[in-house]
Amino acid sequence: MPEPRPAGSPPPLLDGLTVGHFGHFDPSYSRNRIMAKALRRAGAEVVELSDGRRWASRTPGLVAGAARHHLDLLLVGFPGHADVAAAKASGLVKGAPVVFDAFVSLWETAEDRAQGALQGRRGRIEDRWSCRFADRVLLDTATHADFFATALGVPRRKLRTVWVGADDEVLQPRPRGDAPGFRVLFVGSYIPLHGVDTIVRAAHVLERAGEQVEVVLVGDGQTYGSVRTLASRLGVTNLRFEPRIPGDRLAGTIAGSDVCLGIFGDSPKAGRVIPNKVFDALAMGRAVVTRDSAGAREALTHGVTAWLCPPADPEALAAAIAALKADDEARTRIAHDGHLLFRSRFSIDALSATVAGIVRELVPAQS
């Protein structure tokens, strides 16, 4: 069912349409949850066709599930490269176009995570074939879409941008609370593009400079072990490592911080994306520090809605944190203006209008 729209929301654009959310995606993952919510906010009914089993086991059930519904459009959720062909086959039977929420390139991800040349070649083939079967391909930034066009040969007519955004029904501004000290927060899965080693080195720079700052690193993942080793070798004492947290604790964790950190890796992929954590912090009205890049500058303005600093540069990151700590007025203004930007461009309502426009390109309204 379409979800109830808050007072003041834009009028529904997709009333009467049914969208099949198709693939082996995790419905609780933020990108998939937000896409489904944006569609429902626009008036569409979203039928969840999700099966997490291996390809050979899930595909017949997904196709059969699609056949049981009248579907106006199929949205392949993330990750879904392997499911686009099945969605296309289902769409051909139903007469429904297919939108592929690619979100990332498997080829680029393999290279960014150093998964080896074989995995990279396989990812590039999957990228190209999945995009070939789709009627529209969604990415998170225009810079990322340009990469799909130039490096993978995806026709630009297929490419559309939908910001990552955040669920503003859950993540809303809250008071800082009474916890003492100045707290800087990173929440993530420690993939290489996050550049968590840069955060550790920046904490070390701040500590040597006598800055009273606590840096909290929440999560775990690929580089967690090497990051802990680096922190131990440097003897950093102003760091606190905390385990991964469930989604229902994220808002409270962000609310306890003064500054939230984005990503600081220097890979090409890190320069094309704006991660969940940046939008989450904007949604909650916290000042954000993240790497300067073409992707980031599509959405953020340095010193106005965020603080942008060079990638893989601990001294620059430390200086940014120290500057925001020293200037309460500037930090409050950046947090406020960043939140206003979020409400206008990255909220569920804003994403709903974007997604509805893409759907209506493929399924025109009946006169």
Please write the tens of the pLDDT for every residue from 323-357: 999 999 999 999 999 999 999 999 999 999 999 99
Q: What is the DSSP letter of 247?
A: G
Virtual CA dihedral for 8, 11, 15, 18, nearest 10 degrees? -60
Q: Which of 366, 358, 364, 365 minimizes the C-alpha distance to 135?
A: 358
* Angle formed at CA 149 by CA 146 and CA 155, multiple of 5 degrees: 130
What is the distance of C-alpha 312 from the center of its chain?
21
Give which of 227, 340, 228 is closest to 283, Cα–Cα: 340
Give the model confidence (pLDDT) of 254-302 as tens digits: 999 999 999 999 999 999 999 999 999 999 999 999 999 999 999 999 9
pLDDT at res. 141: 95
What pTM does this model have?
0.91
The model's confidence at residue 367, banded by pLDDT at 50, 70 and 90, is: very low
Q: How many Å apart are CA 325 and CA 288, to the nearest integer?
A: 12
Instruction: State the pLDDT at residue 238.
Output: 96
Read off the pLDDT of residues 37-95 as tens digits, 9 standing for 90 and up.
999 999 999 999 999 999 999 999 999 999 999 999 999 999 999 999 999 999 887 78
- Contact predicate 99/145, CB 8 Å: no
Mean pLDDT, rounded, of the chain? 93
Residue 93: its pLDDT value, please? Answer: 72
With CA atoms as reference, report the closest residue to 264 among 283, 278, 253, 279.
278
